[in-house]
Amino acid sequence: MDDIQKVMPVTTVKKNLLNIIKDMSDEDFTVTITKNGVAVGVMMTPSRYESLLETIEIFADPATIKALAASEKDFQSGKVLSHKDIYWFLLCCSP
């Protein structure tokens, strides 16, 4: 999912709400709504919202964060497998 964000004044959003919603659905972008140049709200598609909630849930889980940190440490130290190694393992060792 690309990180596409548009910034629009609230007056523009009010005048063009139905078209903006259609475009958001078609192009999957996020709209930051401004009033007098200050951000006052955000509109996003349900899929972006669900992804955001899922990301928050992942980062809120200490066990997941610990596992990600361990994975990053392994990667930095070169403790990684090639896709061929994983393919071989799946062929030979999985039930």
Quick one: pLDDT at residue 86? 86
In the chain, where the domains are located: 1-44
- According to DSSP, the residues that pair with 9 across neighbouring strands are 34
**Percent of all residues in the chain with a pLDDT value above 90, rounded to a whole number:** 71
Q: Quick one: which of 3, 6, 5, 8 has its CA closest to 40?
A: 8
Q: For the chain, state the CA radius of gyration.
A: 21
Taking residue 30's Cβ as centre, other Cβ atoms within 10 Å add up to 17
Reported as a pLDDT band with limits 50, 70 and 90, residue 92 is: confident
- d(CA 5, CA 44) in angstroms, rounded, equals 9
Tokens of 42: 């955000």
CATH for 1-44 (2.40.50.100, 3.40.1620.10, 3.40.50.920, 3.40.50.970): 3.40.1620.10
46-64 residue pLDDT tens: 999 999 999 999 999 999 9
Reported as a pLDDT band with limits 50, 70 and 90, residue 1 is: very low
- d(CA 94, CA 8) in angstroms, rounded, equals 52
pTM, two decimal places: 0.64
